[in-house]
Structure 1
Amino acid sequence: MNLFPLVHRTADPAPTETPAAAVSYLTRYVNRDAVSARSGPGPTFAPIGQLFYLDRGIKLREADGWVQLRLRYRSASGLAEGTTAWLPEAWTSPCTPPGH
């Protein structure tokens, strides 16, 4: 009995996006304590909470020295996973794989 019939492909399908057009997301961590997470890129935007050393997120955008992060996990201060927040780029560092 063959549950999964073999399918023969003659060629791999073409990619839907070219590598140059692919969006690059970077994981970043907060490199200091008690950073005000803001609703927009600048100190005049309302604070939505605080982030602490080693809180992590995916970098979505950047503007005027600020980065927007989507939190990968619940933050140390209790901000929910998936929350988006802006903070100064200098207060974040890129996460690098071991050995790099």
Structure 2
Amino acid sequence: MQSRFIGRVGVAVATIAMGAAASLAAAPSALAAPASAPTQTLAAKNTCPTWTVTGNGVNFRTGAGTKYRAIGQLYRGDSGTKISSSGSWIKIKLDHRSKTGLKKGTTGWVTKSYLEQCVYMQLD
């Protein structure tokens, strides 16, 4: 009984292997693009709403610019959700209590040079 099962498994494995070999042999010709076809690169827009602070002692301001009053400071790892933007400034709402004690949900402005936008990753 066991030897018949092993024999059937062997036949199934051999059948799958032959089918895979045939598919691989045909793949290069099926995937080859004509030499005249232009190569097009598509750039995806990053739509992740979370921005993380990359500097230390970054001013968190009431408006988009250095002329506005600082509410407090943010440190590397503090993060928030983007509310809006104005030029090189991003208005964020803190996702959690900041390292300096600013409450979760506090909104303010930070220059983009001290922020990094998260990037979605597709794991297949």
TM-score, normalization by structure 2 = 0.58
Higher relative contact order (CA 8 A, sep 6+): 1
1:74 aligns with 2:97: yes
Task: Report what 1:50 is aligned to.
Answer: 73
Aligned length: 77
Aligned residue runs from structure 1 range 10-25, under 5 A: none
* 1:1-12 superposed matches below 5 A: none
Structure (1 or 2) with the greater strand fraction? 1
Paired-residue identity, %: 31
| 1:90 Cα deviation after fit | 1.4
What stretches of structure 2 of length at least 5 have no aligned partner? 1-46
Structure 1 residue ranges (4+ consecutive) displaced by more than 3 angstroms after TM superposition = 97-100
Deviation at 1:64, TM superposition (A): 1.8
Higher helix share: 2
Whichever of the two has the greater Rg, that structure is 2
Residue 80 of structure 1 aligns to which amino acid in structure 2? Answer: K
